[in-house]
Amino acid sequence: MFGDWEEFVAFQCSSRWRFVFALIVAGLAPLPARADLCASADETEAFRLRHLQSRLMVAALSCNQSDAYNAFVTRHKPDLSQFGPNLVAYFSRVGGGLAALNRYVTELANAVASIRSDDPQAFCAHTWSVFWDLQLDPTQLRTIAAANPIPAITQPALCTIAPPRPAPPAAKAPQKQTAAPGRGAAAQ
């Protein structure tokens, strides 16, 4: 099969490189979604609203749209305050807790700021139209949130089966109480 030693060595080296290359390619392939990393419907909605709020918050600070942002927060306060516990629940369930949530929110704000710095005029025009659409029809909040993800920051996929919920704390078994012997009954 091999005419000489050099041909054999060349084949072995190329085989090793093919193996290394295959490992690298395999490492780049997306991993199958883990069920415990997917999100419930409420958690998915919370991620969408957080993305939208981060986009609008950056617009408030960098596009001189703070009045529009304040009106948005005031009008949608019930919806916005509802998603916080859902995000906490997600990061508690998948690991990392509040520290992971804080990192996520920071990465989200940085990604939005990057989008804004790439094309400030287009970013500010877009967020102004979002504020305007929400002002005209506040019931479109969830639809608008779904249409405005931050592409650089991924959101977990919606679970096809319900994600595991943390077990409630175990209730302590009631302790058997024994009554102390009554003095009056024994003395009679």
* 70-92: pLDDT as tens digits: 999 999 999 999 889 999 999 99
Residue written as token pair 């779904």: 146
Please give the structure tokens belonging to residue 91. 């990061």
DSSP-assigned letters across all residues of 100-167: HHHHHHHHHHHHHHHHHHH-HHHHHHHHHHHHHHHHH-GGGHHHHHHT---TTS--PPBPSSPPPPPP
What are the strands, taking DSSP E only, across the chain? none
- Domain boundary assignment for the chain: 41-161
- Walking along the chain (188 residues) 10 residues at a time, the average pLDDT comes out as 50 45 36 61 95 96 96 94 92 93 95 96 97 96 95 89 60 55 50
DSSP class of residue 64 equals S
pTM of this prediction exceeds 0.75: no
What are the strands, taking DSSP E only, across 33-134? none
